[in-house]
Structure 1
Amino acid sequence: MDSSSHKHYHVHGFDSRKHLDDFFSDKSDMVFGEDALIFPIENLTNIFTRGHIKGDVLIDLSPGSFIHHLYAANEFFQHIIVLKVSDRCILELKRWLDTRTGAFDWGHATKLHVGIKGNSDQLQEKEEKLRSTIPHVVKCDLDKENLTDPMVLPPADCIISVWLLDVICKDEDDYRRYLRKFSRMLKPGGHLILIGCLGYSQYIIGKEKFHAFTYDEGFVRKALVGEGFVIDYCKVKKRTAVSDLVDYKDLICLAAHKEK
């Protein structure tokens, strides 16, 4: 497939609200509920409730403005620092953090966390807890060695990266290079959690086609081990969504820790 004309998320940006509406909403014609909402929620809940991954600082490095994956983490960390490459995505996320009019409604995702029978008070409490755990949304530059230069972040106990490496990496070397950057941001023994898509080459936001990096499970396992990580958890799931907006084949979630 000729992807030379495809845009790149971290270079060109995309319509963050359109991204949320098409891939994460509760609209009747939104077909990604199982893959984009339930898969991250179930796997991250499973990982964190084991009790091994916790601490003071968690850093989130994910594209767009989605936050549903962080509900599972906020019970185990004092602070969640969210890094974004796009001003548009930052503004969209801050609408939700500041409970502004017109913010994206994550109520359907909140229900998945507290259980479908959770009452409105429980849902509000869950959302307020997550908001209070995110003190900063920081713009970053992925090309820099220190992504937040000139700001220096404290070493993290854990980094979560959901679909970011899929949409910013050009090739295998790029993927390994970003893993090294993530590793330098972690404390010794710190944890890295990755969620991505296998057999992926493009996605569509609005009328624009964007590049995605194609890799398989064997590659990401070797890349993590090669960069000094020990894999503690891996789950692969076949795609269920029927849509021309993306062409991935499977979903993958991995948790690993950095060797001391």
Structure 2
Amino acid sequence: MSDFTKASEYEKVFNPRLYLETYFRLGSGSLADDFMRFVLRNLHKTLCLGELSGHTVIDIGTCPSIYQLLSACESFKEIIATWYTQTERQELQKWLNKDPDAFDWSSVVKHVCDLEGNSGKSAEKEDKLRGQIKQVLHCDVSKSNPLEPVVLPQVDCLISTVCLEAACRNHDSYATALKNLSNLLKPEGHLLLAGDLGANYYEVGEHKIFSLSVSEATLRKAFGESGYVIREFSCFGKPEDADYDTSDYEGFYFIHAQKP
């Protein structure tokens, strides 16, 4: 088995629109209600209430989602989005183009605007984010330059949510991916990472999608081996009354790390 998930293998079983419909409508009662509120709260705290800001942020594995960029557009002037499969990019492009068939992010955007004290400004928020996404590039975290063949100046910050657990098939490759991502960062640049704890899969329609099971211990080990300094590590356990069974996850994590 490869250490990394192949794009062709992923595209066979992953339907990006069904993924969005299943997990990204706040208030729908899916496990993403808990995940989204946890991640959005931490991104808001780090990017809008904290000291973290800069010129350029790269989001690793953006497509087909935008939720993780809604706070970033308040702290960075330019955003570079990335994708791994063509079907994911197509779904993001619909939103960028304001296609009538684009996924409706309004419940998520409203939640972030409420966090920021800007209730009623959802349309303006989406337009601001569209304007700040300057490039959409292919990304492969198995490469020493994940944006190959594009070579960019090192940036201030990277964001990645529920990406590395899908891309990496074991903990060694997870650490390798972190090292590869550090090549995109300036010295003292920041990495914001979020994902599931203990998940071996999540369901999209009839398919169970692979997820690398990680724990706080394995994550701390991988970050240490990759040379980062962890500035914040937050965890959220699966609620006892959770009655959804689309994943075997045990909780969520958010990490703010820094390259030396």
Structure 2 length normalisation: TM-score? 0.90
Structure 2 partner of 1:201: 200
- What amino acid sits opposite 1:166 in the alignment? E
Residue 17 in structure 1 maps to residue 17 in structure 2: yes
Structure 1 residue 33, shift from structure 2 partner: 4.4
- What amino acid sits opposite 1:242 in the alignment? D
- What is the RMSD computed on CA atoms of the aligned residues? 2.1
- What amino acid sits opposite 1:139 in the alignment? H
Distance 1:166 1:143 in 2: 13
In the TM superposition, structure 1's runs of 4+ consecutive aligned residues that sit over 4 Å from their partners are 116-120
Structure 1 residue 201, shift from structure 2 partner: 0.6
Structure 1 partner of 2:155: 156
Distance 2:243 2:30 in 1: 7
Structure 1 residue 145, shift from structure 2 partner: 2.4
Residue 248 in structure 1 maps to residue 249 in structure 2: yes
Structure 1 residue 256, shift from structure 2 partner: 0.8
- What amino acid sits opposite 1:251 in the alignment? F
Contact 1:191 1:256 in 2 (8 A): yes
Gaps of 5+ in 2: none
Gaps of 5+ in 1: none
Distance 1:119 1:201 in 2: 37
Structure 1 residue 27, shift from structure 2 partner: 6.7
Distance 2:151 2:44 in 1: 29
Q: Find the residue that maps to 1:148 and give its secondary structure.
A: coil
Structure 1 partner of 2:129: 130
Contact 1:198 1:249 in 2 (8 A): yes
Structure 2 partner of 1:211: 210
Q: Find the residue that maps to 1:135 and give its secondary structure.
A: strand
Distance 2:6 2:235 in 1: 24
Q: Find the residue that maps to 1:49 and give its secondary structure.
A: helix
Q: Find the residue that maps to 1:160 and give its secondary structure.
A: strand
Q: Are residues 247 and 162 of structure 1, via their aligned partners in 2, closer, same or farther at CA, if it must alter by over 3 Å?
A: same
Aligned length: 252
- Equivalent positions of 1:1-260 (< 5 A) are 8=5, 10=7, 11-13=9-11, 14-26=14-26, 28=28, 30-62=29-61, 64-115=63-114, 120=120, 122-240=121-239, 241-259=242-260
Percent same amino acid at aligned positions? Answer: 32
Distance 2:175 2:36 in 1: 27
Q: Find the residue that maps to 1:75 and give its secondary structure.
A: helix
Distance 2:142 2:255 in 1: 24
Contact 2:192 2:257 in 1 (8 A): yes
Structure 1 residue 26, shift from structure 2 partner: 4.3
